[in-house]
Structure 1
Amino acid sequence: MKIENTGIEGAIVDLKPLDHVMSQASFVRAGQWDYERVTYDYKIGSAEKNITYYIRLQGYALEGDVDKGDAVMKVMTPLLGKHYYPHGIEYGEQENFPQSVVDRATNLFKSVKDELDKYKK
């Protein structure tokens, strides 16, 4: 599910401040590296059996190189996903998400936006 109207969609920011802001908000950048893309995940445990929720933010380089750390990133619309063990994560609009998880994601991106605004280009 897309988390729209967060105010960070389309933000352009250097990679290092983006990494810092996302780390401060407890997001983890995916362990693999890529020259052009980044993915940050925030894991939310669930009392539901074999279900975990993920809040995901992705971005892609407009210039520079992610691997070298000198990229200028454009942030995409955040996503909320539901991981079904062992099948994988579903981000579809047909998924049902508890309101508490949706509220948590929305609040996280409000604080991320406030910090990212300091670094936007």
Structure 2
Amino acid sequence: MIELSSKITGTTFKLFKLEQELKPLGYVIGGNWDYDHGSFDYKIANEVGYHFLRIPFEAVDGQLDSEGATVELGTPFLLTHKYQVGLDDNVHVGNVNASFNQFSEPEDPDATVPTKYVDMGKSLIIDLEERLLH
């Protein structure tokens, strides 16, 4: 994980407004959200794992599933999940277990972020700052 300094850190927005701004750019609300916190994730690549720019947020007024919730953005960071290779090899039709266990746990949920994605993450942050702060 690599934190990226940004002018958006500590800013507040209506969650609905953020969704309208970020979803068209390719950001999604990550599956790890709860009623008081969550994140917007941008998948940079899926080369030898998944590489994300994550923008965490916390509810400061209301709960995330309520209308009009206001959130404060945290420090953005780059994250790499390296997944196990070969778990889907030799899967046979009729393998009932495969239909229930199709998603493997990460081999390394906090793998080293490749250098080439650090520059891309910094560029994405600049684009976000321009979009959200101007």
Instruction: Mark the runs of 5 or more structure 2 residues left unpaired by the alignment.
Output: 85-104
Higher relative contact order (CA 8 A, sep 6+): 1
Rounded Cα–Cα distance in structure 2 between residues aligned with 1:7 and 1:38: 19
Rounded Cα–Cα distance in structure 2 between residues aligned with 1:75 and 1:33: 14
Rounded Cα–Cα distance in structure 2 between residues aligned with 1:96 and 1:35: 30
Match of 2:37 in 1: 37
Q: CA RMSD in A?
A: 2.0
Match of 1:101 in 2: 117
Instruction: Mark the runs of 5 or more structure 1 residues left unpaired by the alignment.
Output: none
- 2:18 is the counterpart of 1:18: yes
Q: What fraction of aligned residue pairs are identical, expressed as a percent?
A: 26
Using the TM superposition, give the Cα deviation of residue 41 of structure 1 relative to its aligned residue in structure 2, in angstroms: 1.1
The ranges of structure 1 where at least 4 consecutive aligned residues each deviate by more than 3 angstroms after the TM superposition are none
Match of 2:61 in 1: 63
Between stretches 34-43 and 58-67, larger displacement belongs to 34-43
* TM-score after normalising by structure 1: 0.78
- 1:82 partner amino acid: T
Q: Which has the larger radius of gyration?
A: 2
Between Structure 1 and Structure 2, how many residues are aligned? 112
Using the TM superposition, give the Cα deviation of residue 61 of structure 1 relative to its aligned residue in structure 2, in angstroms: 0.6
CA 1:2–1:45: 2 relative to 1, 3 Å: closer
* TM-score after normalising by structure 2: 0.72
